[in-house]
Amino acid sequence: MTALRVTRLDPEKPVASPGPRAPRATPSGVLATVLVCFALLSAAVLSLTPPWEANDEPDHVQNVETLVSGHWYRITPHSNLESFQAPLYYLALALYQKLVRQPVHNPDGQLAPIADNQQHGNFVHTVPQDGVDQRLVDLLRLPSIVFGLIAIVATYVAAKRVSRDRWTPVVAAAIVAGVPKFVFVSGTVNNDNLSNALGGVGLAGALVMLASSTITSRRRMAAAAGLGLVAGALILTKVTAGLLAPGLLLAVILRASSVKDIIRQCLIFAIAALAVVGWWLVQNQIWYGDPLALHATNVHQREVFPAVLNVAGPLHRIFVDVPRDFYSSFWYDSGWNQFTWRWFWYVPFWGLAALGVAGLVLIRRVGPRVASRAPIAVTALLAFGALCSVWIVGIPTNTEQGRYAFMGLPAIAVLLALGYERLRMPPIARFILPAIGLIGTVLAIRYHVIIPYLVR
C-alpha cells in the first residue's frame, strides 16, 4: 500500500498570492464612457467646423438673431429658406443668447459671403468678420451637445423599461451616440437637435408609464398630460416631428383602464398638446390662412429656391430616390451634404442594423419577460413615424435626409439593442455597431473637417 505523502508548508517561506485581477467593465462605467466620447467628438465638430458650414446653419442662426433683435421671423418673399420652421428651438436659443449677453448679429442681412471656389467650403472665411461669426456660432452650437446628451440618456432610461438585461440599455445608448451623422448634427445649429431630445424624452416617458406595475388614476392623468406636452413641443419644434404624436398617444391609450378612461386620457393628452402649440397654430391661421402654413411654405420655396421642388414623379421618389439617399445619409454625411462615404462603407452599418431587426422579429423573447408587448408596440410606432418623415419630406422635395428620422433614433436604438439581446450575442459583440460608428466619426472629422477647412 502506497503511503500518502504530505507536504508541509515552511512557515519561513511566504506563500505567493494571486496577481491583481483586471477591473471588469460595468454598465454604468461603459455608459459614462459613451457619454464622454460623444461629448468630446461633438465638441470637436463644434470647434473645428467653420461658421455656416453645416446644413442650413446660416438660416437657422438668422431666425435666432431676428428673435433676439425683438422681431418675429416670418415667411416673406425675402426671408430665408428656414423661415417656415416652427419656433420653439429658435426661441430657446434666443433666450439663451440673451442670458449670456451675446449681442444681436446682423439679423436682416447675409451672414457670410458665399465662396466662389467651394474647395474649402461654401463660405469665405478669410475675412475679418469670420472670427466674430465663429464665436457666435460656437456659442449657439453648445446647446446642441446638451440636447444630444439628453437623447442618449433618455434612450438608456427607455431601454431599462423593456429589458432586464444589464447591458441592453447601455448598448441602446451607445448606438445613438455611435451614429456619426448624429454626432455631426449635435455639433451644429439645427432644430433637429431639440426634436431629437424631445423624441428621446417622449419615448422614455411613455415606456416608464407602461412599465409601471401599478399606477393610480391621478398618475395616469399626469402621465397623459406630460406626454401631451411633449407632443406639443415636438410640433412646435418641427411640424414633421408631430409624426411621433401617434406613438405617444398609443401609450396613453394602452395604459387606460376602460373605454371611458381612454376618452378622458386622450382629451387630457390633446389639451396639453394644444396648450403648448395652439398659439402658434392660431398665429399661422391669422398670418397665412393655414394653421401649419403649408401653402405659404410651398409658395415661398418656389419663389426663393425652386430647385428644391424640381423632383421626379411620386413613385420614382418613393421607391428609388428617397431610399437611395436615405441609405447614404442616415449613418453619415456632413457639411452641406457634400461630404459622404463610398457606398460600401455603409454596408457594415446597415448589415448590423438588419441583424438587430432580424433578432427582434424572428427570435422568440428570451430571458425575463416585460409586463406586456405594449412597450415594444409603442417603441416600434415611434420609430416608424420618424422614418415616415423622411419620405413625407422627400416625396415633394429633393431634400430627403436621414437626419429627419433622428427624432426616432432613440426608439430605433432600443429596438436594435433588444434584437441583439434576443440573439444572445455576448455583450462585447453588441457594441460592434457603435464601435465602428466611433471609428467612422473620428475619420470623418479628420478627412471632412480638419483637412478641407483647416489644412490650406
Predicted pLDDT at 118: 57
Query: DSSP secondary structure string, 108-163?
Result: SS-SSPBPSSGGG-SB--SSTHHHHHHHHHHHHHHHHHHHHHHHHHHHHHHHHTT-
* DSSP assignment string, 422-437: HTT--HHHHTHHHHHH
Say if CB 63 and CB 91 are below 8 A apart. no
HSE-up (13 A, CA, CB side) for residue 454? 13
Q: Using DSSP, state whether 83 is helix, strand or coil.
A: coil
Residue 439 inside a domain? The answer is yes
In a domain, 108, yes or no: yes
Q: Is residue 80 part of a domain?
A: yes
pLDDT score for 411 = 98
pLDDT at 6: 46
DSSP helix/strand/coil, 167 = coil
**How far from 273 is each of 90, 194, 242, 260, 280, CA to CA, in Å?**
19, 17, 10, 20, 12
Question: Which residues on neighbouring strands pair with residue 123, listed in sequence order?
Answer: 114
Max Cα separation, the chain? Answer: 108
How far apart CA 332 and CA 329 sit, in angstroms, is 5
Query: Which range marks the domain in which residue 65 is found?
Result: 53-194+311-454
Q: Report the pLDDT value the prediction gives residue 111, as an integer from 0 to 100.
A: 60
Angle between helices 192-211 and 88-99 (to 10 degrees): 110
Residues of the chain with pLDDT under 70: 1-23, 107-113, 115-120, 365-372, 456
Q: Across-strand partners of 114?
A: 123
For CA atoms 381, 384, 390, 395, give the dihedral sign: negative
Whether residue 278 lies inside any domain: the answer is no
C-alpha 221/C-alpha 12 separation (Å) is 74
Q: Count of domains in the chain?
A: 1
- Three-state secondary-structure class, residue 54: coil
Q: How much is the pLDDT for 371? A: 44
Domain contains 116: yes
CA-to-CA distance for 382 and 394, rounded, in angstroms? 19
SS (H, E, C) 299-314: HHHHHHCHHHHCCCCH
Q: What does the alpha-carbon distance between residue 198 and residue 237 come to, in Å, rounded to a whole number?
A: 9
The amino acid at 87: P
> What's the whole-model pTM score?
0.92
Q: Would residue 74 count as lying in a domain? A: yes
- Per residue in 38-92, pLDDT (tens digit) is 999 999 999 999 999 999 999 999 999 999 999 999 998 888 889 999 999 999 9
In a domain, 235, yes or no: no
Residue 20: CB atoms within 10 A of its CB come to 6
Q: How far apart are the first and last CA of the chain?
A: 88
- The answer to whether residue 449 is domain-embedded is yes
Buried b (16+ CB within 10 A) or exposed e, 43-58: bbbbeebbbbbbbbbb
